[in-house]
Structure 1
């Protein structure tokens, strides 16, 4: 009889599964990646995968939720390392430029997920909206600290830069959006 699976092994297998699924979904698209491919990449049997996540949709939501936490933590750490409020807002676009220039950048995972599944999956749509709302609220707080009421256009510039960089494969939209934000914030 095989040894029972420990909590630690469950945690490690779940993380390995999420890593494999995130890499595949981001690189190839959610709908293009079947569960057999996730099984192969994770090294876990399908039966075990479905014990963690009853459906592919549940797996997608978990991937997006975990990515959201890491993405926003990284952004926050970068921005909050800057002291002056105006420079903090501009640091958002510096962080975006670094992200856009990463090898394998394929745009915003939430925008991509929305494009693939948003109209047909309420749980995915809810997760995408939750991420965008959280990003909006954090960005609005940073903009508010400048005393300039331009949170909405700054948010739209950030989102537009993500879409444009994802489609063009060029990180330049971050710098272009940053320049526009500099004008909005004044000197």
Structure 2
């Protein structure tokens, strides 16, 4: 069997770390558990990644790319700016129905490490700001007020947390209905001016 390159090993470790951290929590998964599950020696693991925090950071970067791709794909399905905004909540509903859904990895990570890991906290903040900026662009395209983007982001974030705790996808439908009400109200008010 050919020897894996450093990049292949890094990807394997990151795949395992992502799965374990998301399923069990970051603090519950030690480097020994990660090493054993990934099938690499502890020495090799530390050659690939200088610290557990660096692994968490890489996992978050990967999750951010995944999230952005999901949002972009969902938005691309909408025919109108309003439809594009609401498509985000449809994407959430599909995600919440995944068997392995455990909430937002960014919210979970911030809850576990935000107070003790400033770089990780900053990555989470950047991710959430990027999502809100994406919504702001869609709101602007729809002709809505800037404040609508913050409101829609809060609905999406709250739906993620509620769905994780409740164990059902119903929060996505409730958030979508609330988003539709907010969007329609904001656009009506904007047109009336």
Give the TM-score, by structure 2 length.
0.90
Measure, in 1, the Cα distance between the counterparts of 2:87 and 2:149. 15
Could you tell me how far 1:163 is from its partner in structure 2? Answer: 1.0
1:81-92 to structure 2, matched below 5 A, reads: 81-92=77-88
Q: What is the aligned counterpart of 1:154 among 152, 165, 171?
A: 152
Measure, in 1, the Cα distance between the counterparts of 2:89 and 2:103. 15
Measure, in 2, the Cα distance between the counterparts of 1:160 and 1:129. 16
* RMSD over aligned Cα atoms: 1.5
1:93 maps to which residue? 89
Q: What is the aligned counterpart of 1:175 among 144, 168, 173?
A: 173
1:127 maps to which residue? 123
Measure, in 2, the Cα distance between the counterparts of 1:139 and 1:40. 41
1:77 maps to which residue? 73
Q: What is the aligned counterpart of 1:54 among 27, 50, 58?
A: 50
Would you say how many aligned residue pairs link Structure 1 and Structure 2? 182
Give the TM-score, by structure 1 length.
0.93
Could you tell me how far 1:183 is from its partner in structure 2? Answer: 0.7
Measure, in 1, the Cα distance between the counterparts of 2:117 and 2:22. 18
1:145 maps to which residue? 141
Could you tell me how far 1:47 is from its partner in structure 2? Answer: 1.3
Residue deviations 1:141-167 (CA, integer Å, cap 9, x gap): 112211122111111111111111111
Larger deviation: 146-155 or 91-100?
146-155
The question of whether the paired residues in 1 share the 8 Å contact of 2:77 and 2:87 is answered with no
1:118 maps to which residue? 114
Q: What is the aligned counterpart of 2:164 among 138, 163, 166?
A: 166
Q: Secondary structure at the match of 2:89?
A: helix
Measure, in 2, the Cα distance between the counterparts of 1:143 and 1:123. 30
Could you tell me how far 1:12 is from its partner in structure 2? Answer: 1.1
Structure 2 gaps, min length 5 = 189-193
1:19 maps to which residue? 15
The question of whether the paired residues in 1 share the 8 Å contact of 2:144 and 2:183 is answered with yes
Q: Secondary structure at the match of 2:131?
A: helix
Structure 1 gaps, min length 5 = none
Measure, in 2, the Cα distance between the counterparts of 1:75 and 1:46. 36
Moved over 3 A (4+): none
2:35 maps to which residue? 39
